[in-house]
């Protein structure tokens, strides 16, 4: 990929003239002139626009000739902390209406398939194709169980007697591998709009911040951090949502997440917790 080669080259200090709208701003609206790799496409050039989006370029403005202007930024290295996930045995405590536990094979394959076969649910996770059969779900679950940097729990309804009921969703954090852990969750469409997303996220956050920590260095998006924090930045958990997904936006807002200063990609909002301190 061209952008990888570009960022691997040696650097030198230089003053240049740029379009003001191309300069990234942090959450306070302060310009942060990181080095950028830019491109422009005609407004009707969907093919090249798609290539740029797939290469993590973000549209940032319109040029005088009507072309779309794109930018790609190098991530920054920060010192912070992260949970120790080796031999993780800490459970998520049940909440008012929900019970949480790790998913198992073969016990949970069919209940999990009932979620993963729904195109509406999978689309919210960025998956364009639902599982076609339970064997596919089984393979996915086995792969996730062996991923030491992915923390995932099944979300079950709590019966009146306090016992575990129907599996209605699952969530956790995606493998972070040197960057901020990214929160995700998904529910069966039959259980949307009941507040289960907010209930799960709040319970998960209590669990997440209770884990023991270690010092690490990460490469993260510049828009996620508070530049006033030096030399060590606050540990974060991040999330992203489609800017038209009002349900997920409300869930994250209720759970205390803060919108960061930049979109990760077109139509996507990037979030962080803890929120910024103004």
pLDDT at position 87 is 77
Report the candidate in 89, 104, 100, 92 with the shortest Cα–Cα distance to residue 165: 100
**Burial profile 168-200: b = 16 or more Cβ within 10 angstroms, e = fewer:** bbbbbbbebeebbbbbbbbbbeebeeeebbbbb
pLDDT at position 164 is 97
Q: Which domains are seen in the chain, by residue range? A: 2-74 (no CATH), 79-104+150-273 (3.40.630.30)
pLDDT at position 212 is 93
pLDDT at position 244 is 85
pLDDT at position 113 is 97
pLDDT at position 3 is 65
Instruction: Give the ranges where the chain is alpha helix by DSSP (H).
Output: 2-8, 46-54, 109-116, 119-124, 134-145, 196-209, 246-254
Average pLDDT for runs of 10 along the chain of length 278: 72 87 66 80 91 80 90 81 85 96 94 96 85 95 85 96 97 85 95 96 96 92 73 89 89 90 65 80
156 contacts 99 by C-beta, under 8 angstroms: yes
pLDDT at position 25 is 65
């Amino acid at each position: 990929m061209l952008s990888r080669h570009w960022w691997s080259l040696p650097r030198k200090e230089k003053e240049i003239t740029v379009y003001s709208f191309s300069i990234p701003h942090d959450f306070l609206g302060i310009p942060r002139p990181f080095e950028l790799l830019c491109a422009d496409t005609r407004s009707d050039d969907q093919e090249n626009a798609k290539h740029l989006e797939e290469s993590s370029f973000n549209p940032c403005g319109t040029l005088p000739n009507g072309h779309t202007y794109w930018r790609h930024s190098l991530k920054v290295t920060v010192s912070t902390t992260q949970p120790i996930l080796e031999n993780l045995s800490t459970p998520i405590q049940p909440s008012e209406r929900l019970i949480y536990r790790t998913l198992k094979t073969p016990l949970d394959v069919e209940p999990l398939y009932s979620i993963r076969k729904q195109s509406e649910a999978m689309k919210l996770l960025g998956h364009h194709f639902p599982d076609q059969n339970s064997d596919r779900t089984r393979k996915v679950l086995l792969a996730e169980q062996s991923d030491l940097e992915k923390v995932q729990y099944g979300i079950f309804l709590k019966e009146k007697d306090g016992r575990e009921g129907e599996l209605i969703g699952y969530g956790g954090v995606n493998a972070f591998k040197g960057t901020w852990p990214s929160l995700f969750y998904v529910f069966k469409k039959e259980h949307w709009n009941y507040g289960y997303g907010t209930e799960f996220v709040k319970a998960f956050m209590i669990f997440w911040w209770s884990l023991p920590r270690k010092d690490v260095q990460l490469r993260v998006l510049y828009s996620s951090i508070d530049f006033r924090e030096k030399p060590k930045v606050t540990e974060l958990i991040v999330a992203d949502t489609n800017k038209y997904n009002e349900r997920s936006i409300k869930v994250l807002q209720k759970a205390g997440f803060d919108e960061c200063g930049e979109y990760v990609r077109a139509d996507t909002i990037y979030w962080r917790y803890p929120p910024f301190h103004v």
